[in-house]
Chains A and B, each alone.
Chain A
Amino acid sequence: QKEVEQNSGPLSVPEGAIASLNCTYSDRVSQSFFWYRQYSGKSPELIMSIYSNGDKEDGRFTAQLNKASQYVSLLIRDSQPSDSATYLCAVNGADTGFQKLVFGTGTRLLVSP
Chain B
Amino acid sequence: DAGVIQSPRHEVTEMGQEVTLRCKPISGHDYLFWYRQTMMRGLELLIYFNNNVPIDDSGMPEDRFSAKMPNASFSTLKIQPSEPRDSAVYFCASSWDGSSYEQYFGPGTRLTVT
Contacts and interface: CB of A to CB of B under 8 A. Distances in A.
Interface of A: 31-32, 34, 36, 42-46, 49, 51, 88, 90, 92, 95-106
B100 A103 contact: no
B56 A43 contact: no
Report the 6 A-B pairs with minimum CB-CB distance, sorted nearest first. Answer: A43-B105, A105-B42, A103-B43, A32-B101, A96-B56, A44-B105
Interface residues of B, number: 19
9 contacts: A34-B101, A34-B103, A45-B105, A49-B102, A92-B101, A95-B56, A97-B55, A99-B101, A100-B56
A101 B103 contact: yes
Interface of B: 31, 42-43, 45, 48, 50, 55-56, 91, 95, 100-108
A104 B42 CA distance: 8
Most A CB within 10 A of own CB, among B31, B42, B50, B55: B42
Contacts of B103: 34, 46, 90, 101
